[in-house]
Amino acid sequence: MTSESAFIDKLRAFATHPAARGLTDDAATLTHAGRTIVLTHDTIVENVHFLPGDPPEDIGWKLAVANLSDLAAKGAKPIASLMAYSLSGDGDWDARFAAGLGEALTRYGCPLIGGDTVRVPEGSARHFGMTAIGEAEFVPGRDGASPGDDLWVSGTLGDAGAGLAIAKGELEGPKELLQAYRRPVPQLELGQKLAPLVSAMMDVSDGLLIDAGRMAEASNVAIAIESIDVPLSSAFVGVRGDTREASIEAATAGDDYELLFAAPPRSRRQIETVAEGLDAHIQCVGLVEAGKGLSLQEGGRPLPLPETLGWEH
Ligand SMILES: Nc1ncnc2c1ncn2[C@@H]1O[C@H](COP(=O)(O)OP(=O)(O)OP(=O)(O)O)[C@@H](O)[C@H]1O
Ligand SMILES: Cc1ncc(C[n+]2csc(CCOP(=O)(O)O)c2C)c(N)n1
Ligand SMILES: [Mg+2]
């Protein structure tokens, strides 16, 4: 079976336009008439990205946010979106999906301007796609992290992973966790304000460890993550504890839609001021170093990387 990364490697041979950014970034960036247009596309699939029993409003919301989060990671302001929809065979379900999608697109100023609707064979998994278009002045790549930079992450990690376990009936826990899985929030304002201050930025959709590894690879540097500094919410700690295992779970579960960014120590004050101004939580979780690859520490001592670093198709 071809893995996601092996397939993208094959596409690279003909994705030679500079807008493609080598297919190593969260979004494409087209420069036209002096403007930088940021374009991204995400698909969500039943039983892969959402559960058949999830409320359809939340699935529509999440399709929008998966895309808006990639715009946030590039410091972009949304312009518009296009959607691919597979009719579910249930009119009420479709209407509820549309309501949740509309709510997110309205909230974040990303009007729908087109798309496509198809009927799929009965019994096939529901799947939906969206292209989001934005505009940015500064577009931080995944490839700009430099040795000596701090590595930061916004928000708390692992909440959505715990929420998914709750939705599956595997765990009992507070509704904030379920909410984190079903109604993630794209960090658009934070991304726009951080963009001029950071050397690299991306969103954490697949898990902190796997995504930090991607930043390290794109930037040709080493990244060391401190497990004790992985930000955990009190709701998460309430159900999973604050052990080493809990931090690793939070750093690999994915679905966080938070921002991961590298920045030189001289930008610390400005970064903290931006976050305070937006009432956003940010945490320094690691360091960028010369070398290659990802490593993990606990209180400064080396910790072996877990077998699975995050979500990979
Ligand atoms: N089928 C495809 N055709 C063209 N480019 C692709 C395809 N699949 C992925 N890519 C490109 O590969 C790069 C990495 O994609 P990836 O999906 O890992 O990034 P992402 O969108 O930030 O992640 P996520 O899907 O978790 O939001 C991006 O540049 C993306 O546009
Ligand atoms: C039913 C169900 N099972 C597992 C998960 C976890 N999950 C699926 S895809 C993904 C990464 C982001 O996707 P992509 O990389 O395609 O953007 C994660 C963390 C889920 N959300 N729902
Ligand atoms: Mg991304």
Interface confidence (ipTM) of the complex: 0.96
Share of the chain above pLDDT 70, in %: 100
- Say if residue 211 carries a ligand binding annotation: no
Q: Give the ligand whose atoms come closest to the C-alpha of residue 203.
A: 3
pLDDT of residue 1: 76
Q: Is 48 in the pocket of ligand 2 (CB under 6 A)?
A: yes
Measure the CA–CA gap between 197 and 263, rounded to whole angstroms: 7
Closest Cα to atom 21 of ligand 1:
26
Q: Is 116 annotated as a binding residue?
A: yes
Closest among 251, 308, 274 to 191, alpha carbons compared? 274
* Closest protein CA for atom 3 of ligand 2: 48
By the CB criterion, residues less than 5 angstroms from ion ligand 3 are 26, 70, 203
Q: Is the pLDDT of residue 12 over 90?
A: yes
pLDDT average, residue stretch 204-221: 98
**pLDDT for 156-171, tens place per residue?**
999 999 999 999 999 9
Cα angle value 133/68/177 (rounded, 5°): 170
- In which residue are the tokens 């979500």 written? 311
Q: Which one of 8, 179, 255, 313 would you pick to mutate in the ligand 2 pocket, going by the greatest count of ligand atoms within 8 A of its CB?
A: 255
Percent of the chain with pLDDT over 90: 97
pLDDT at 222 over 80: yes
φ and ψ at residue 81, rounded to 5 degrees: -145, 155
Chosen domain end from 136, 162, 182:
136
> 173 with 286, same domain?
yes
Q: How far apart are CA 79 and CA 304, in angstroms?
A: 43
pLDDT band at residue 298 under the 50/70/90 scheme: very high
Question: Whose CA is closest to 137, among 276, 31, 268, 273?
Answer: 31
Q: Is residue 310 part of a domain?
A: no
The residue whose C-alpha atom lies closest to atom 23 belonging to ligand 1 is 26
Identify the pLDDT of residue 6. Answer: 94
Same domain, 159 and 123: no
**Strands (E) located in 222-281:** 222-226, 258-263
| 92-113 average pLDDT score | 98
Q: Write out the residue range of the structural domain in which residue 91 sits.
A: 4-136
Distance 41 CA to ligand 1 centre (A): 8
CA of 154 to the centre of ligand 3 (A): 14
Whether 251 and 162 have beta carbons less than 8 Å apart is answered as no
23: CATH: 3.30.1330.10
70 annotated ligand binder: yes
pLDDT of residue 2: 82
Local confidence band at 151 (pLDDT 50, 70, 90 cut-offs): very high
CA distance linking residue 144 with residue 246, whole number of Å = 30
Based on the fold, state whether residues 105 and 159 are members of the same structural domain: no
Residue in 100, 120, 116 with CA at minimum distance from that of residue 108: 100
Q: Can you point out the beta strands (E) in 21-177?
A: 28-32, 35-45, 77-87, 112-119, 127-136, 150-154
Whose CA is closest to 100, among 160, 44, 131, 56?
Answer: 56
User: Span 212-225, mean pLDDT?
Assistant: 98
Residues 123 and 165 grouped into a single domain: no
The pLDDT of residue 97 is above 80 = yes
Taking the C-alpha atoms of residue 264 and residue 236, their distance in angstroms, rounded to an integer, is 30
Confidence at 106, pLDDT banded by 50, 70, 90: very high
pLDDT-based confidence at residue 83 (cuts at 50, 70, 90) = very high
At 46, list the tokens. Answer: 């039943």
Considering the domain architecture, whether residues 53 and 162 belong to the same structural domain is answered as no
88 band by pLDDT with thresholds 50, 70 and 90: confident
Residue closest via CA to ligand 2's atom 15 equals 206
Pocket test for ligand 1, best of 11, 23, 30, 211 (most atoms within 8 A of CB): 23
Residue nearest to atom 24 of ligand 1 (CA): 205
The number of distinct structural domains making up the chain is 2
Tell whether residue 40 is among the known ligand binding residues. yes
Give the pLDDT confidence of 230-241 residue by residue, as tens digits.
Answer: 999 999 999 999
pLDDT of residue 180: 98
Same domain, 166 and 235: yes
256 is in an annotated binding site: no
